[in-house]
C-alpha cells in the first residue's frame, strides 16, 4: 500500500474527489477510479499517445502525469467531447473519413486533434512551420497536420484518413 493523498479535480464538467495512492497516474485515475475507459493505455510511457486527454484545454499524455499533482485541474476526456447525442466535429469527421480501424488509438487521436487545432489557432509553431511565418494562427496544411499528429501512433495505419478528418475540421 502506498502513501495516499486526497485529490479533487473536474472531469468532463463533474467534480471528482478521491484519496489516491501517490503512484497513481492520471490515466489510471481515469480508467480505474473514475471508470472512464475511453483513454487507452497503449504503452504507459508517453510513446504512443493513446492516453491523450485535455488538461486545462491542452493535450497531454495522461500516463505521464501523477494524479495527485492534478488537484484543481480541469480534465476533458473523449467521453466529454460530444454534446449529448451530437458528436464533436472531430468525432464526426473521424467517422466520415473512416479515420480508424481497431479504434484503440482513436480517443487519443481525437483529443490530440482538438489540442492540435487549438495550438495552431493560438499561433504555436511546429517543426515544419516556416521560420519566417507571420505571427497569428498557423494554417493546418497537410504537412502541419502530419507533424502535429505524430505523437499519436496508429498501428492499423489510418494516418491518411486521420489527416483528412483533422483538416476538414481545421478549415
Partner 1 sequence: MTTTQPLLGAPTARLEAREKVTGAARYATDHPTDRTAYAWPVPATVVRGEITSIDTTAALADPAVLAVLTHQNAPRLHETDDPNLAVLQSPHVAHRGQFVALAVATSLESARAAAEAIRVTYRTEPHDVVLTPDHPGLYKPDEVNAGLPTDREHGDFDTAYANAPVRIDAVYETPALHNHPLEPHAATALWDGDDLTVYDSNQDSSGVQRTLAQLFGLANGKVHVVNEHVGGGFGAKGTARPPVVLAAMAARTVRRPVKLALPRNQLAAVTGYRAPTIQRIRIGADPEGHIEALAHEAITQSSTITEFVEQAAAPSRTMYNAPHSRSTHRVAQLDVPTPSWMRAPGECPGMFALESAMDELALACGVDPIELRTRNEPAVEPDSGLPFSSRHLVECLREGACRFGWHDRDARIGGRREGRLLIGSGVAASTFPALVMPSQAEAHAAADGSYEVRVSASDIGTGARTVLTQIAADTLGVPLDSVRVRVGSSDLPPASVAGGSSGTASWGWPVHKACTELRQRLAERGYAVPEQGITVAADIAQDIDEREDLARHAFGAQFAEVQVDPATGETRVRRLLGVFAAGRILNSRTARSQFIGGMTMGLGMALLEGSTMDPAFGDYAERDLAAYHVAACADVPEIDVHWIEEEDPHLNPMGSKGIGEIGIVGTAAAIANAVHHATGVRVRALPIHPDVLVARLADQPGPP
Q: Nearer Cβ to partner 1, position 9 or 63?
A: 63
Q: Is residue 19 involved in binding partner 1 (CB under 8 A)?
A: no
Q: Nearest distance from residue 10's CB to partner 1, in Å?
A: 18
CB neighbour list of residue 28: distance below 8 Å, 6 or more residues apart: 67
Q: Is residue 114 involved in binding partner 1 (CB under 8 A)?
A: no
Q: Nearest distance from residue 110's CB to partner 1, in Å?
A: 6
CA distance linking residue 80 with residue 50, whole number of Å? 16
Nearest to 109 by CA among 168, 75, 152, 138: 152
Q: Nearer Cβ to partner 1, position 9 or 34?
A: 34
Q: Nearest distance from residue 165's CB to partner 1, in Å?
A: 10
Q: Dig out the grid coordinates for 89 from the structure.
A: 466535429
CA distance linking residue 123 with residue 131, whole number of Å? 13
Residue 88 near residue 66, CB atoms below 8 Å: no
**Given 7, 9, 11, 38, the residue binding partner 1 (CB under 8 A):** 38
Strands, sheet with 52-55, edge to edge from the N-terminal-most edge strand: 14-21, 4-11, 74-76, 52-55, 58-61
**Given 5, 10, 104, 168, the residue binding partner 1 (CB under 8 A):** 104
Residues in contact with partner 1 by the rule CB under 8 A:
1-2, 21, 23-24, 28, 31-32, 35-45, 47-48, 50, 77-79, 81-82, 87, 91-92, 94-96, 98, 100-107, 110, 143, 145-147, 149-163
Amino acid at each position: 500500500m502506498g502513501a495516499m493523498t486526497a485529490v479533487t479535480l473536474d472531469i468532463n464538467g463533474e467534480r471528482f474527489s478521491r484519496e489516491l495512492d501517490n503512484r497513481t497516474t492520471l490515466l489510471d485515475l481515469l480508467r480505474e477510479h473514475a471508470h472512464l475507459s475511453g483513454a487507452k493505455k497503449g504503452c504507459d510511457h508517453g510513446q504512443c499517445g493513446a492516453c491523450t486527454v485535455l488538461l486545462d484545454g491542452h493535450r497531454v499524455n495522461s500516463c505521464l502525469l501523477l494524479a495527485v499533482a492534478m488537484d484543481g485541474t480541469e480534465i476533458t476526456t473523449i467521453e466529454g467531447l460530444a454534446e449529448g447525442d451530437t458528436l464533436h466535429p472531430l468525432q464526426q469527421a473521424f467517422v466520415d473519413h473512416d479515420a480508424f480501424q481497431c479504434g484503440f488509438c482513436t480517443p487519443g487521436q481525437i483529443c490530440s486533434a482538438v489540442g492540435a487545432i487549438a495550438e495552431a489557432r493560438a499561433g504555436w509553431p511546429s517543426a515544419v512551420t516556416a521560420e519566417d511565418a507571420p505571427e497569428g494562427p498557423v494554417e493546418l496544411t497537410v504537412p502541419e497536420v502530419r507533424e502535429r499528429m505524430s505523437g499519436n501512433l496508429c498501428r492499423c495505419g489510418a494516418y491518411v484518413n486521420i489527416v483528412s478528418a483533422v483538416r476538414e475540421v481545421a478549415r
